[in-house]
Amino acid sequence: MELNQLTIKECHKGLVSKDFSSEELTKACFKEIKKQDKKIRAFLSLNEDGALTQAKEVDKKIKNGGKIGILEGVPAAIKDNILIKGLNCTAGSKILENYIATYDATVIKKLKSAGAVILGKTNMDEFAMGSSTENSAYGATKNPHNLKKVPGGSSGGSAAAVAATMCVYALGSDTGGSIRQPASLCGVCGFKPSYGTVSRYGLIAMASSLDQIGPFAKNVSDLKCVFEAISGADEKDATSIQKRGVRLPKVESPTPKSFKGLKIGVPKEYFIEGMEESVKKKVEEAIAKMKKAGAEIIDVSLLDPSYGLAVYYTIMPAEVSANLARFDGIRYGYSVVQPPHSPPIPTESSKQGEIEGAKNLLDVYKKSRTEGFGKETIRRIMLGTYVLSAGYYDAYYKQAQKVRALIRDDFRRVFEKVNYLVTPTSPSVAWALGAKFEDPLTMYLSDIYTVTANVAGLAGVSIPCGESRGLPVGLQIMGNQHDDYGVLGVAELCEKII
């Protein structure tokens, strides 16, 4: 086995026993990136010098007899909407093409503190808006299992990098399934923590009440290692749950050790007409194995997931329109004024420094945003502005928030009867590049099983549960808010029997 194919725990064991160095491990990942990434295009930028410097520091510590943590010296990839000081951060958009981060996101501070080696930044749908990583301004990422297929999105670059063993683990963000869905399509494990358990400080915001950072890895045990490192309170994030007085379960808290005594709910509404029969079969086979292992399988009923999808595609663009207002071509990012503020920005009363097609400051805003944003981003900004506008706010945004409350209550009701829920992650396996690109509504439907966890703030994980037509199928496990370790515990049990 090549070093880049190892899991986090295997890497840690090898480093501690001095079977190989962190520098060798890091070089093995870069070798794989150079071998495969011209075809896959998982990475947008590499941090080769910085990563090797980090690796050498870990090797020096080991040589001097120091003890290392589980992530120390282990190479990771980071989605390109998470800030790393001194590195480019584009969020997959032309408008941030030359933006260099001036500070570290909280999760990056925690990974650096844990001694992680950061290989580079991964491709994504622009501002995390998409389900296929085809909306990136820098070209589409391809699925390592079949280069003619999509990897899922919006964290497709991170999922593909793990699947192609170009890194040991990766970070992504999940607003409506953007970790779990690409994990499913690429055949890796992906975890969306409960809302507020991982700081969003330093994550370029898409929809602030839905966004959550989480890990991709080769197995569930590795997901747990990364989650332990990046979770916790953060004074810089007002939505951090400890800051709001809610305490996370400790790492030592009991997690399920076997299926015996576990009540697993299967919502009938998630096995709807339109999903691929082969996907349904693989998920049902996994559920049958849980039952055989001692779990009590209980049929439950939830609100139709199409309601969750409608709520998501009302609230999300509304928050997008507010969050992306800061990209105005003046403060930072792409601007039709090059370099910024020179020549002078024209005003209504002066033609001095006039830019072609821009007669005043508002024109500079419009032109910069039109040229800087892609089609999907513009579509969502316009949708969000519409649902927040006078006369439509009550009819759309306010109603969506009411239905969101009903969805949360619905999950609370079901979790009084069962411990966890099991569903498909995606209604299909990976589809062909370009197949849904021109039909946004069809693309949005690919998130139908994942958006409800974001709407309700639940923990959710996707793990591989077989293949259909030579492509991976994902199984989703959801748990109640703040039962993150329980969800990961059940996922580990599933991993052993599937």
Q: What percent of the chain has pLDDT over 90?
A: 85
> What is the distance of C-alpha 415 from the center of its chain?
25
Beta strands in 240-380 (DSSP E): 263-267, 296-300
In this predicted structure, the answer to whether residue 252 has a pLDDT above a threshold of 90 is no
Condensed to tens digits (0 to 9), the pLDDT of residues 195-222 reads: 999 999 999 999 999 999 999 999 999 9
Nearest to 265 by CA among 421, 409, 479, 412: 421
CA–CA separation, 456 and 182 (whole Å)? 20
Question: Which whole number is the average pLDDT over 167-182?
Answer: 98
- Provide the H-helix boundaries in 41-155: 48-63, 106-113
Max Cα separation, the chain?
A: 78
Residue 2 CB partners (closer than 8 Å, separation 6+): 28, 32, 165
154 is catalytic: yes
Instruction: Identify the pLDDT of residue 353.
Output: 46
Instruction: Identify the pLDDT of residue 349.
Output: 44
CA–CA separation, 157 and 341 (whole Å)? 35
In this predicted structure, the answer to whether residue 179 has a pLDDT above a threshold of 60 is yes
Instruction: Identify the pLDDT of residue 246.
Output: 59
Instruction: Identify the pLDDT of residue 155.
Output: 98
pLDDT category of residue 257 using cuts at 50, 70 and 90:
confident
Specify the fold of 3-257: Amidase signature (AS) enzymes (3.90.1300)
In this predicted structure, the answer to whether residue 292 has a pLDDT above a threshold of 60 is yes
Condensed to tens digits (0 to 9), the pLDDT of residues 331-343 reads: 888 888 754 444 4
Q: Which segments of the chain belong to CATH 3.90.1300.10?
A: 3-257
Give just the sign of the alpha carbon dihedral 164, 168, 171, 176: positive
178 is catalytic: yes
- Please state which of the ranges 28-37, 253-262, 307-316, 383-392 shows the lowest mean pLDDT: 253-262
Condensed to tens digits (0 to 9), the pLDDT of residues 132-166 reads: 999 999 999 999 999 999 999 999 999 999 999 99
Among the listed residues 178, 321, 446, 462, the single catalytic one is: 178
Nearest to 448 by CA among 320, 317, 311, 321: 311
Mean predicted lDDT score pLDDT of the chain: 93
Token duo for residue 476: 């989703």
Phi-psi region of 59 (alpha: psi -120 to 50; beta: other; left: phi over 0): alpha
Among the listed residues 22, 93, 132, 154, the single catalytic one is: 154
Q: Dihedral of the CA atoms 475, 478, 483, 484 (nearest 10)?
A: 40
Q: Report the half-sphere exposure of 52 (CA within 13 A, side-chain side).
A: 8
Instruction: Identify the pLDDT of residue 342.
Output: 47
Condensed to tens digits (0 to 9), the pLDDT of residues 234-245 reads: 999 999 887 555
Condensed to tens digits (0 to 9), the pLDDT of residues 370-379 reads: 999 999 999 9
In this predicted structure, the answer to whether residue 58 has a pLDDT above a threshold of 50 is yes
Helix (H, G, I), strand (E, B) or coil at 64: coil
Question: Which whole number is the average pLDDT over 291-296?
Answer: 98
- Please state which of the ranges 356-365, 389-398, 453-462 shows the lowest mean pLDDT: 356-365
Q: Which residue has the higher pLDDT, 256 or 353?
A: 256
Count of CB atoms within 10 A of residue 49's CB? 8
CA–CA separation, 99 and 430 (whole Å)? 32
Residue 160 CB partners (closer than 8 Å, separation 6+): 40, 42, 122, 133, 141, 142, 143, 144, 151, 182, 186
Most confident of 42-46, 235-239, 348-352, 444-448: 42-46
pTM of the model: 0.94
- Do 43 and 87 meet the contact criterion of CB atoms below 8 Å apart? no
Instruction: Identify the pLDDT of residue 437.
Output: 87
Q: Which residue has the higher pLDDT, 337 or 284?
A: 284
Question: Which whole number is the average pLDDT over 466-470?
Answer: 95
Instruction: Identify the pLDDT of residue 399.
Output: 97
CA–CA separation, 402 and 467 (whole Å)? 39
Instruction: Identify the pLDDT of residue 340.
Output: 44
- What is the side-by-side order of every strand in the sheet holding 213-217? 43-46, 117-122, 75-79, 169-173, 213-217, 189-192, 459-468, 471-479, 420-424, 263-267, 296-300
Residue 152 CB partners (closer than 8 Å, separation 6+): 131, 132, 133, 143, 159, 181, 182, 183, 184, 185, 186, 426, 430, 446
Residue 422 main-chain phi, psi, to 5 deg: -125, 130
93 is catalytic: no
Condensed to tens digits (0 to 9), the pLDDT of residues 96-139 reads: 999 999 999 999 999 999 999 999 999 999 999 999 999 999 99
pLDDT category of residue 488 using cuts at 50, 70 and 90:
very high
In this predicted structure, the answer to whether residue 357 has a pLDDT above a threshold of 50 is yes
- Do 180 and 43 meet the contact criterion of CB atoms below 8 Å apart? no
CA–CA separation, 142 and 153 (whole Å)? 11
In this predicted structure, the answer to whether residue 352 has a pLDDT above a threshold of 50 is no
Among the listed residues 79, 94, 110, 149, the single catalytic one is: 79
Instruction: Identify the pLDDT of residue 80.
Output: 98
Q: What percent of the chain has pLDDT over 70?
A: 93
CA–CA separation, 167 and 41 (whole Å)? 14
Pairing of strands 471-479, 459-468: antiparallel
pLDDT category of residue 360 using cuts at 50, 70 and 90:
confident
CA–CA separation, 290 and 293 (whole Å)? 5
The DSSP element (H or E) to which 356 belongs, if any, is: none
Cis omega (within 30 of 0) for bond into 321: no
Question: Which whole number is the average pLDDT over 478-490?
Answer: 95
